[in-house]
Structure 1
Amino acid sequence: MINKLSEKRVIAFMKWLSAQGAEMLPTTNEYEVLRFKCQLGTGVIYKNSRGKHSVSGPLVTEALTAYFAGESWRGKAQPTKRGKIGRRKERLLKRDGDECFFCGEKLGEDMTVEHLMPVNQKGPDRIENMVLAHQKCNSLAGSMPLIEKVKLREKMRGWI
């Protein structure tokens, strides 16, 4: 099923996901083909340097199965905002302040939540594993291991 994902098919799948109530999110690195959010969580489709696709977990597999079978799917949009800022972001702002974890500059509209230990590498999806970062800084960090993210932070802040 995942090997049937041509660029045209990915676009059709995105449209189908939107029609099913999922919210399309921007990709965070060059290996992500598609990222979406729904009431069941966040799903990602990746494409490696050899062109082979993989998925972030059973959520994406379930959605792809329903898509290829021509069935509906239960992934409704998950409310991501509470006022202008999501609940997780509010908690992180209270805990860490309003500066980007990586560059140290004040956060703005491009504020994202970054997992220090990437979820796709078995990092926990808990507040203890999260920091706030600019979208650009988050994209630079991508799915780096934690130690590489700390080195990136030190470099961006001019500490090394």
Structure 2
Amino acid sequence: MTVRDLAHFESWLTDRGAEVLDASSEREILRARTSTGTHVVYADKTGKQRWPKELLAIVSDYNAGRTPSLAATKRGGAARRKTRGRYVALTKRDGPGCFYCARILPAPGTHSTPDDEVTTEHLVSRAHGGPDHVSNCFLAHFACNQIAGHLSAPEKIKLREMMRGAK
């Protein structure tokens, strides 16, 4: 099973939260990081493509018109440590409120509900090529971050205005 329109498939992956990565060799057709791992499609010398079984399951969803969440990043220890490290810099720059709803964020590592957990959000989503640099980041509640998903930067600004009640 292959994909007829690879560019459309890559866009579909990105829209669902996966990261399409640069190829690391001339034989790579596609390299993508999804919620199930990093998957690489290769072409052999004859041009025959080799698709990993985990990615074939995703292709099946694509062909069937299903819309699974394929977010490439899971909240783990490294992500929490990075958030703690950026928390001071970002609260100093932006203040202690959530970018979207403006409610005060709990300090990383303090007790909070899962929805109120502090997360680092990217204005230009990493899945859309945005850098993982403090200049592209702000703090948001986990629930607010989930609502925003992989919207474009202007869409995130509009969401912020809506959540804060601006007209």
Q: Structure 2 CA distance, aligned partners of 1:142 and 1:52? A: 14
- What is the letter of the counterpart of residue 119 of structure 2? T
Q: Structure 2 CA distance, aligned partners of 1:139 and 1:54? A: 11
**Over 2 Å off, 4+ runs:** 30-33, 43-57, 77-82
1:114 to 113, 121, 128: 121
- What is the letter of the counterpart of residue 91 of structure 2? L
Q: Write out aligned runs for 1:70-109 (5 A).
A: 78=78, 80-81=80-81, 86-108=84-106, 109=112
Structure 1: runs of 5 or more not aligned = 1-29, 34-42, 58-76
Structure-2 residue corresponding to 1:128: 135
The more displaced of 103-112 and 125-134 is 103-112
Larger radius of gyration: 2
Q: Is the 8 A contact 2:123 2:136 kept in 1?
A: yes
Q: Structure 1 length normalisation: TM-score?
A: 0.52
Structure-1 residue corresponding to 2:35: 45
Q: Is the 8 A contact 1:113 1:132 kept in 2?
A: yes
Offset from partner CA, 1:123-158 (integer Å, 9 cap, x none): 111100001001110000000000000000000111
1:159 to 151, 154, 166: 166
Total equivalences in the alignment: 102
Q: Structure 2 length normalisation: TM-score?
A: 0.50
Structure 2: runs of 5 or more not aligned = 1-14, 19-32, 37-57, 107-111
**Shift of residue 51 of structure 1?**
4.5
**Shift of residue 102 of structure 1?**
0.4
**Shift of residue 54 of structure 1?**
10
